[in-house]
Amino acid sequence: MNDPTPEELDRLLAEGNARIADGDPEGAVPVLEQALEVCRVLVEETVVARSVEPRVLGRIAMALSLGGEPAEAVRVGRRAYELTGSLYGDDYDCTLVDVALAAVNFARFLAADGHGDEALECAYYGLQHLDELVPGAPLTYLGWRAALLQAVAEVEPESDEEPWLTPLAARRDLVATCRRLVDLDPAEPQYATDLAEALLLLAKAVSDEPSQDDTDGDGEVPDDEPAAVRTAREAVGILHGQAAPPSGLNALARGLSVLAGLLSDEGRDDDAEAFVAQVAAGFGEPWASRLPLLVVTWEWALAPTFGSEQSVLEFNDDLRDPDADDVVEFAFADLPPTEATRLRALRVASRELGVAEAYSRRAEDPLGFLVTYA
């Protein structure tokens, strides 16, 4: 067997990365593990820097994460994170970029596997590293910052101890980071979309004070409208500006469903319906008549509990109507396939059994329910 060479390492890494890029993370893992073996021999022989090993470990962890193995991604990602930390300041080739990237990825792996406290702590340190890097390449490292905050913005802390970073603080920081990206490159539509999504995420978590009624009846938004509603309105405004049906319509409908839900919580159902109708009217047919039902579909799909999900389906007869299939399936196209299948089966079963019985039977035997109605 020939001795390992840097060229062989480069070849294996290139092949592993290509498999990840081609949507085959499972196939990338054994290739990258082979690269790790080669790397360790080369490190021992001082042919390559020690910092190469945690970089390879990081790629393996990423492939495991993308391949649906979150626990294994955490295990390997932890080794990459800890080894990078031990090398920083000792190995000239291990830079702050390595430390920051290891923290960003490890926090994301932790969050995906439900390690809330540790993910928030790791993110806290990762943000500090990124803040040192941002001045040198703002778009790059603000993008990393946004990805990190997005990953931990919805984690659930596991203990009652004060976390290093709270999910609410992460959501606020995510909005601020996205605003900076928009300011730096206002012509990039993805930055605006990311800002809108961050605003919607924040709107769901912001504590509100009661709003005043529209006492003069002019339909104007009250100046002292609750923070959550104002935040959601800003997000909807961005998404509305980007929508060119059918493009962007699902994103707009998702935003409108959040805003409508917040207004409904305030007892302003009429305001919610009127606002959705006003937005829809601006598109012309067929989208003007489809958008309200699309909003309801997303309200159903995004409902936080099975109970609230059931209530949406019970309250909206149109959502169960076979004539609405085109609109509902338009929304389902933007959902993960397993979630779309689950909702599709509930919709079919509700016509035969009624909504309450459909949810009851699904709870009793989820797999059998899917076999029967999917």
Give the model's pLDDT for residue 216: 35
Is the distance from CB of 103 to CB of 129 less than 8 angstroms? Answer: yes
Residue 198 pLDDT > 60: yes
Lowest mean pLDDT among 154-158, 167-171, 182-186, 200-204: 154-158
Phi-psi map region of 316: left, alpha, beta (phi>0 left; psi -120 to 50 alpha) = beta
Q: What percent of the chain has pLDDT over 90?
A: 82
Chain Cα centroid distance, residue 132: 25
pLDDT tens digit sequence for 229-239: 999 999 999 99
Reported pTM: 0.85
pLDDT at 90 over 70: yes
Cα–Cα distance for residue pair 4/129, rounded to 1 Å: 34
Q: Which pLDDT does position 218 carry in this prediction?
A: 41
pLDDT score recorded for residue 223: 57
Which is more confident, 161 or 353? 353
What span, in angstroms and rounded, lies between the C-alpha atoms of 103 and 89? 16
Q: Which residues lie across from 247 on neighbouring strands?
A: 244
Task: Report the alpha-carbon distance of residue 53 to residue 35 in Å, rounded.
Answer: 9
Query: What is the DSSP secondary-structure string of 68-98?
Result: T-HHHHHHHHHHHHHHHHHHTTTSTT--HHH
Task: Tell the residue number behind the tokens 């930390």, with chain if given.
Answer: 85
Residue 164 has pLDDT above 90, yes or no: no
| Per-residue pLDDT tens digits for 305-318 | 999 999 999 999 99
* Mean pLDDT across 296-303: 95
Chain centroid to CA 329: 21
Least confident of 84-93, 128-137, 207-216: 207-216
DSSP 115: -
pLDDT tens by residue, 54-82: 999 999 999 999 999 999 999 999 999 99
pLDDT for 212 equals 47
Residue in this structure with the two tokens 């493009």, named with its chain if needed = 247
User: How many CB atoms are located within 10 Å of the residue 338 CB?
Assistant: 9
For the chain, report the end-to-end CA distance as a whole number of angstroms. Answer: 54
| pLDDT score at 125 | 94
SS3 assignment, position 2: coil
What is the CATH architecture of 1-94? Alpha Horseshoe (1.25)
Q: What's phi and psi for 247, nearest 5 deg?
A: -65, 130
Query: Considering the chain, what percentage of its residues have pLDDT values greater than 70?
Result: 94
Q: Using one digit for the tens of pLDDT, what is the confidence trace for 17-56?
A: 999 999 999 999 999 999 999 999 999 999 999 999 999 9
Q: Which is nearest to 288 in space by CA: 299, 298, 280, 297? A: 280
Q: Is the Cβ–Cβ distance between 110 and 74 less than 8 Å?
A: yes
* Residue 102 neighbours by CB under 8 Å, 6+ apart: 54, 58, 77, 80, 81, 84, 85
Verify cis geometry, omega within 30 degrees of 0, for the bond prior to 222: no
Phi-psi region of 70 (alpha: psi -120 to 50; beta: other; left: phi over 0): alpha
Q: Where are the domains of the chain?
A: 1-94, 120-157+166-205, 225-335
pLDDT interval class at 214 (50, 70, 90): very low
Q: Tens digit of pLDDT for each residue in 244-299? A: 888 899 999 999 999 999 998 888 989 999 999 999 998 888 999 999 999 999 99
Cα-only R_g, the chain: 24
* pLDDT of amino acid 241: 93
pLDDT confidence band for 92 (50 / 70 / 90): confident
* pLDDT of 215 higher than 50: no
What are the C-alpha distances in Å from 78 to residues 29, 66, 72, 108, 268? 17, 16, 10, 11, 48
